[in-house]
Amino acid sequence: MDISFSEQDLQFQEEIRSALANDYPSHVREKQEQGMVLSKQDMIDFHKFLYEKNWAGYNWPVEFGGTGWSPVQIYLFLNELAAAQCPTILPFGVSMVGPVIYTFGNQEQKDRFLPDILQFNSWWCQGYSEPGSGSDLASLKTKAVLEGDHYIVNGAKTWTTLAQNADWIFCLVRTETTQKKQEGISFLLN
Ligand SMILES: Cc1cc2nc3c(=O)[nH]c(=O)nc-3n(C[C@H](O)[C@H](O)[C@H](O)COP(=O)(O)OP(=O)(O)OC[C@H]3O[C@@H](n4cnc5c(N)ncnc54)[C@H](O)[C@@H]3O)c2cc1C
């Protein structure tokens, strides 16, 4: 089996490499090279740089504003980012909630959220784990009750990575009391 990269793949790799060499924001690069902690603004700047290069939706289909790259291109892209000392792309928007919205959301939800995720206008965090509810998420207790056109949410979430920077959270919440604990759970955007 031939697993070497094609000519096109190597050209793609070179394009990413030279774009990073020229355009990767120097204040983020310098901090990364010195092992310094990036500020919230540094992370926003880095993600906006990805958007400006049309790379923000590196793992999304073209129809939703993504690159439509193949798995090999995604692999090469991520390798080049790592080699250039880029921070890790935050997964919460582009890899977690975004694909759920473009796969299952209605048009209004897609219009409302997908551009903001790509442009990094909103920082998302993930609200699944709870005190006492980790691997077994079906035991989660946070409740959401619909009152008018709002959900009233009560409960506790934990382990919420970078929640201090977030504008939005996608949460798993209990919206129905059911016999089977794996049922009655909804995915709420707050
Ligand atoms: C750095 C970090 C960041 C995180 N960020 C987030 C976040 O942003 N949002 C979020 O929602 N969560 C987050 N988590 C939570 C994480 O994804 C897991 O849900 C959580 O760590 C697991 O729950 P727990 O720690 O309560 O362990 P438990 O679920 O209590 O597990 C404890 C131990 O028991 C083992 N175990 C559990 N169930 C079984 C089983 N059925 N059979 C055999 N062994 C079992 C586990 O492997 C583990 O060794 C984060 C965790 C870490 C470490």
Q: Which atom of ligand 1 is nearest to the CA of 127?
A: 11
At residue 64, the pLDDT reads: 98
pLDDT tens sequence across 1-38: 888 999 999 999 999 999 999 999 999 999 999 999 99
User: How far apart are the CA of 157 and the centre of ligand 1, in A?
Assistant: 13
Contact 112, 125 (CB under 8 A): no
37 three-state secondary structure: coil
**Max Cα–Cα distance, the chain, nearest Å:** 60
At residue 67, the pLDDT reads: 98
The verdict on 94 and 18 lying in the same domain is yes
User: How far apart are the CA of 134 and the centre of ligand 1, in A?
Assistant: 5
Give the CATH number, domain containing residue 60.
1.10.540
pLDDT tens sequence across 153-170: 999 999 999 999 999 999
pLDDT tens sequence across 93-144: 999 999 999 999 999 999 999 999 999 999 999 999 999 999 999 999 999 9
Owning domain of residue 86: 7-106
Distance CA 175, CA 177 (A): 7
Q: Is 77 in the pocket of ligand 1 (CB under 6 A)?
A: no
Q: Which atom of ligand 1 is nearest to the CA of 134?
A: 23
Q: Which residues make Cβ contacts (< 8 Å) with residue 19, sequence separation at least 6?
A: 53
Share of the chain above pLDDT 90, in %: 97
Contact 141, 174 (CB under 8 A): yes
What is the domain count for the chain? 2
Nearest residue (by CA) to ligand 1, atom 18, is 134
Report which residue type is found at 2. Answer: D
User: How far apart are the CA of 136 and the centre of ligand 1, in A?
Assistant: 8
Token representation of residue 24 = 């990767």
Closest to 31 measured CA to CA, from 91, 86, 89: 86
Domain boundary among 74, 106, 138: 106
Alpha helices in 24-138 (DSSP H): 26-33, 40-52, 71-83, 91, 98-104, 107-119
Inside any domain, residue 183: yes
Distance CA 94, CA 56 (A): 8
